[in-house]
Structure 1
């Protein structure tokens, strides 16, 4: 019974790996061409799937962490009250400079 469960798990992993290789876009495959990855996964079921997961699969996009400005961090012009006052003055035509 345990052998059947292990066999089904290996079959499921092999099918998952093969499906993953086939559905991955060509330009996102890493290290070797997609056709070679398909051959590796088909011909060497367990090891090929493991190598695909570690070395060939596209990396998941990482979410950018928001950067909180520190006390000395530069502000954008729209955050500077003096800049906004000067801009308002220039838009009204009160340019004294």
Structure 2
């Protein structure tokens, strides 16, 4: 089994580079036309030169871990998203965002035995 591992890794890298090249928009491809990159990946895939050259030099990469400046916004978890947290404060059907949940005073409630619960005026 171990003797097949290098071949399988080379094949997996070639397939990954090929699909990555096909899915990359034309304006993000550097140096050569996209069709030429596909041919290079397929011709030199067995010796790993084609896929490695594509991954290193053929595609524009975003700069840094923060992503591209001015690019699409990154996904934000709901508990970190201020717009989502504001929407929790809105009453259903209230588009102004002024109504808040839980701000109404408690109503007088009677329990099943008929005893009145709530504010008492003694």
TM-score by length of 2: 0.49
Which 4+ stretches in 1 moved above 4 angstroms?
Answer: none
User: Structure 1: which 5+ runs fail to align?
Assistant: 65-97
User: Structure 2: which 5+ runs fail to align?
Assistant: 70-122
Higher relative contact order, structure no. (Cα contacts within 8 Å, ≥ 6 residues apart): 1
Kindly provide the CA deviation profile for residues 13-35 of structure 1, in whole angstroms up to 9, marking residues without a partner as x.
00000000010001110111100
Q: Give the superposed CA RMSD.
A: 1.3
Show the counterpart of 1:35.
Answer: 35
TM-score by length of 1: 0.61
Larger radius of gyration: 2
Show the counterpart of 2:9.
Answer: 9
**Counterpart-to-counterpart distance in 1, 2:8 and 2:33:** 29
Aligned residues: 64
**Counterpart-to-counterpart distance in 1, 2:30 and 2:50:** 14
